[in-house]
Structure 1
Amino acid sequence: MSKKTLVIGASEKSERYSNMAIRSLRQHGHEVKAFGLRKGKVGDVEIFKDQKAVENLDTITLYVNPANQKKLYDYILSLQPKRIIFNPGTENPELAKLAADKNIDVEYACTLVMLSVGKY
């Protein structure tokens, strides 16, 4: 089943984990939206840099360090995803608590590993 996913911290650079995640999500048949510092494209996925509304979002997967997440709290929470995945290096207890308070599931995991073992 496709899970509409927003990748936050998206990059066109193929060596970046966010880029690998976008490609893997698409290969696994998920609808992907991507938010980053610069506009661009990864395969068929446009990277936007404005805080656009994304409807019916299942998952937000984070590739932004905790210090840079602060300015995104309101945006992330306003999207009302079902869950937020904190990839390695993005762990943030403050945002995790804000999300949990809004009944958003929080996972400390690696999106790439989850996809590769069928647990996404």
Structure 2
Amino acid sequence: MMKKTLVIGASLKPQRYSNIAINRLVDYNHEVVAFGLKEGTVAGVEIDINLMPYKDVHTVTLYLNPERQKAYYDYIISLQPKRIIFNPGTENSEFQNLLKQSNIFFEEACTLVLLASNQY
């Protein structure tokens, strides 16, 4: 099953993990939407610089450090995704507690590893 994924912290820089993740998600035929600080396109996916009211988001994969995540807590919860992936370096117990209260599943994992090992 293909899972619509929102990449938060999307980067136009090819060496960034968020950029690599967008490419891999597209390679695996997942629908991808992306939010970042700079407009542009990665693997045919437009990076939005405004928070959009995306519908039917299954997974949010985070590429923001915990301090920067705070501004997006309410937004992410409002999307009611099925899960949040905290990629390495994004682990955030404060946000995870809020997700528990909202009954949103989360995991500390690497999107790239999950894709490569067929666990996404």
> How far 1:44 sits from its partner (Å)?
0.7
1:33 and 2:33 correspond: yes
Residues 18-97 of structure 1 mapped to structure 2, 5 A cutoff: 18-97=18-97
Give distance in 2, aligned partners of 1:15 and 1:50: 23
> How far 1:38 sits from its partner (Å)?
1.0
> How far 1:43 sits from its partner (Å)?
1.4
Give distance in 2, aligned partners of 1:103 and 1:3: 19
**Structure 1 residue matching 2:85: 3-state secondary structure:** strand
Cα displacement string for residues 38-83 of structure 1 (whole angstroms, at most 9, x for unaligned residues): 1111011000010111101100000000010011111111111000
Aligned length: 120
Give distance in 2, aligned partners of 1:74 and 1:104: 13
Give distance in 2, aligned partners of 1:104 and 1:116: 24
Identical amino acids, percent of aligned pairs: 57
Alpha-carbon RMSD across the aligned residues, in angstroms, is: 0.5
Q: Scaled by the length of structure 2, what TM-score is found? A: 0.98
Q: Unaligned stretches of 5+ in structure 2? A: none
Q: Scaled by the length of structure 1, what TM-score is found? A: 0.98
Give distance in 2, aligned partners of 1:15 and 1:89: 16
Q: Unaligned stretches of 5+ in structure 1? A: none
Structure 1 stretches of at least 4 aligned residues deviating more than 6 Å after TM superposition:
none
> How far 1:97 sits from its partner (Å)?
1.0
Q: Which amino acid aligns with 2:19?
A: N
